[in-house]
Structure 1
Amino acid sequence: MSTSLLLPIMLPMSAFALAASISPGPVNIVCLSSGTHYPIAQGLNFVTGATLGFIALFLCIGAGLYSLLNVLPLLEAFLRWAGLLFLLYLSYQLLQHDGRLQERSADNAPGFIAGAVMQWLNPKAWLASAAGIAAYTSGSEPYQLWLFAALYLPICWLSLASWVYAGAFLKRYIHRPFILLTTNRILAGCLAASALFLLFN
């Protein structure tokens, strides 16, 4: 298929992927936090795991995983509670930071596996995948799902990476521990709110 025929499909897909990836959510908040506390390379490792985890989830939902939740309500309940506990754990970790600006050891940073797993426990990822697939793909045109995933891959990675760099910028230019401590409290509150969203939706 020629580029001229694909372009009208690719542009709205790309716009949707950008809006869904760069808007605030649990994964974005962890990326920002990682940038403020750990080396950038470690944050990008998390970003890579989160991106590939999301693409795997996206393709599975495209293959019918989302409809499986209607058949197996216990699976939906498990994902909901696992996501709740994971977000509360990350929120607690943020609350433990004392606001000092020194870089933490990369050994304690959320890494590739944490990023991939978090997407599967992230309600935003499930909703974005289901909504995007319903709006921009057709079961009669299977190439559209793969095209959408191919567009999503770099857009998601770059969007999440921008949050890591925003955190690194914050760490570099804010020299008062009180400000970073306050930022940590706000981020922890946002993660806890995401957990409550999981519980009540």
Structure 2
Amino acid sequence: MTLSMILPMSAFALAASISPGPVNLVCLSSGTRYPVPRGLVFVTGATLGFIALFIAVGLGLYSLLGLVPGLEKLLRWAGVAFLLYLSIRLARDSGHLPEDDARPAPGFATGALMQWLNPKAWLASASGIGAYTSANDLQEILVFASLYLPICWLSLASWVYAGAFLRRHVQQPVVLATINRVLAVLLAASCLYLLFG
């Protein structure tokens, strides 16, 4: 694989990873609510979950959706249910930041699962594989995945750090609660895209 292919693959990975989407919004929220290391656990799960999805799509998983009746619809509804659950949790958050670290945070498994239920991840995988690799060429898929891995992790981590910045500079619970409610509305709006987009 030449540099002329690696640069466009990397640019695609950056654009797809750093642009707003459901996982990015949860990363931002994690940064406002939890210590950065706990947000980075979610980021790691989301990154590895995406890379597993990316490789699976590259090896033909996406075409399976067309072969199994109702599978695409089932995935869509599962994604909607999961995103609505996360939106409700965000909307109900008071904005108070207790001193202890006993609060449950979205973890590794949540991050990985969220990517498999995230339409943005499916579209990024399918379009990236289609644009930059030959069908089912494992070597090309693995090279692309190895480029995507650090770019995705750093992109998602930047959203956690943006949330941590907000947390440091906005200590008033009413402001944090407002931020969480805005994020909840945006997350719920992504459900409309899933259903009608």
TM over 0.5: yes
Aligned partners of 2:60 and 2:136 also within 8 Å: no
Aligned length: 197
Gaps (5+ residues) in structure 2? none
RMSD value, Cα: 1.4
How far residue 140 of structure 1 moved from its aligned partner, in angstroms, is 7.2
Q: Is the 8 A contact 2:51 2:145 kept in 1?
A: yes
Q: Is 1:99–2:95 an aligned residue pair?
A: yes
1:154 aligns with 2:177: no
The one-letter code of the counterpart of 2:178 is T
Deviates more, 1:179-188 or 1:24-33: 179-188
Amino acid at match of 1:166: A
CA distance in 1, matches of 2:137, 2:59: 13
Match of 1:84 among 80, 83, 88: 80
CA distance in 2, matches of 1:112, 1:140: 29
Q: Do residues 165 (structure 1) and 161 (structure 2) align?
A: yes
Deviation at 1:176, TM superposition (A): 2.4
Residue 123 to residue 140, structure 1, CA distance change in 2 (3 Å): closer
Alignment of 1:27-66 (within 5 A): 27-66=23-62
Contact 1:39–1:106, Cα closer than 8 Å, also in 2: no
Residue 114 of structure 1 pairs with residue 110 of structure 2: yes
Judge conservation of contact 1:37–1:102 (CA < 8 Å) in 2: no
Structure 2 residue 2 is matched with structure 1 residue 6:
yes
Matched residues in 1 for 2:74 and 2:136: separation?
32
Judge which range, 76-85 or 118-127, deviates more.
76-85
Q: Could you tell me which residue of structure 1 aligns to residue 19 of structure 2?
A: 23
Separation of aligned partners in 2, 1:71 and 1:175: 51
State the secondary structure of the residue aligned to 2:144: helix
Deviation at 1:71, TM superposition (A): 1.0
Q: Structure 1, unaligned stretches of length 5 or more?
A: none
Q: What percent of counterpart residues are identical?
A: 67
Deviation at 1:103, TM superposition (A): 5.3
